[in-house]
Every structure is written in C-alpha cells, then in structure tokens.
Amino acid sequence: MKIVLYQPDIAQNLGAAMRLCACFEVSLAVIEPCGFPLTAKALRRTAMDYAANTELIRYKNWSDFIDKQNVMGGRVILLSTKASTPITDFKFRESDILLFGRESAGVPDEVHAASHERLHIPISKNARSLNLVSSASIALFEALRQTGF
C-alpha cells in the first residue's frame, strides 16, 4: 500500500502525511511540482522526526509517475469529492496506491481518466470536503483494515 500526493500545495500537509505513513509503515510519494520548495530543510521542519522513518518517493511530474507505475503495477485509486463510489463499497488490495489531489484544485481530467478507480469518503451533504491528511487517514485506515494491516 502506498499514499501518493499529487502536487501538494501546503507543506504542513506533506509533513502530516509523512507522520501518518511513518505510523502505519506505508510509503509516501509526491508528484511534483509542489506549491512550496521541497527541500531537505523544509521536510525536516514540517515532518519533524517522522521524516527519518518515512520512505518519500519523488516523481518529477504525472508522466514520470505513470511511467514508473506501469512497470511496478498496482491499482491507482483516486480519492475525489467528484467520485460516485464510497470507500465503504470498495474492496481494497494490498498493492493499491491511494492517490490524493491538490488541496486547491484536486487533479486534472487526465489523472481522473488514468486512475483505475475513483472513490469518495461519505460526509455530510452540508460539508464541502475534508482536509487532505484527514482524508488520507480515513482511506488508509479502511484500506489497511480490509487487507489485514
């Protein structure tokens, strides 16, 4: 299982995602460019001591990710507020890649089209969306629960 962030806008969310992945021993990937400088110093500041316990994989862009993903395999599962299937109606696999879009704009149509599945987290109709890492936490926990951790 892997979490992938598509061009994240907020450095603190990357830090929180690194902490999440360290706690569950899951790798984390970032598809660049980011909305902030992705330097070693920035990672130390945002991820605190969790950066040392997290495998961070960097992809130059979407094409780089897709090229490498086609070789490595695994389904790309996009979490999106625009998806019609709730995560509770989906059967996760251990090799799934959980993909999350930018905080400000989600993902472009080409990313939607290239994803194997598109899921949403059911929330109140009075709410627009969850925080990126809150969504990642819920989706990762459900995927790990289903696959036996």
For residue 71, what pLDDT is reported? 84
Mean pLDDT of 35-63: 80
Paired tokens of 100: 């999350």
State the Cα torsion 50-62-111-57 to the nearest 10°.
-20
Complete DSSP assignment for 60-99? SSHHHHHHHHHHH---EEEE-TT-SEEGGG----TT-EEE
Average the pLDDT over 32-56 and give the result.
77
**Closest-CA residue to 62 (of 12, 111, 101):** 111
Give the residue-averaged pLDDT of 20-33.
94
Average pLDDT over residues 26-36: 94
Instruction: Output the CA angle 31-55-28, nearest 5 degrees.
Output: 40
Q: Is the pLDDT of residue 75 over 80?
A: yes
Per-residue pLDDT band at 2 (split at 50, 70, 90): very high
pLDDT recorded at residue 149: 82
Provide the CATH number for the domain around residue 122.
3.40.1280.10
Q: How many structural domains comprise the chain?
A: 1
Average pLDDT of the segment spanning 102-121: 95
Residue 48 has pLDDT above 70, yes or no: no
How far, in Å, CA of 6 to CA of 72, rounded? 18
Show the domain range for 17.
2-147
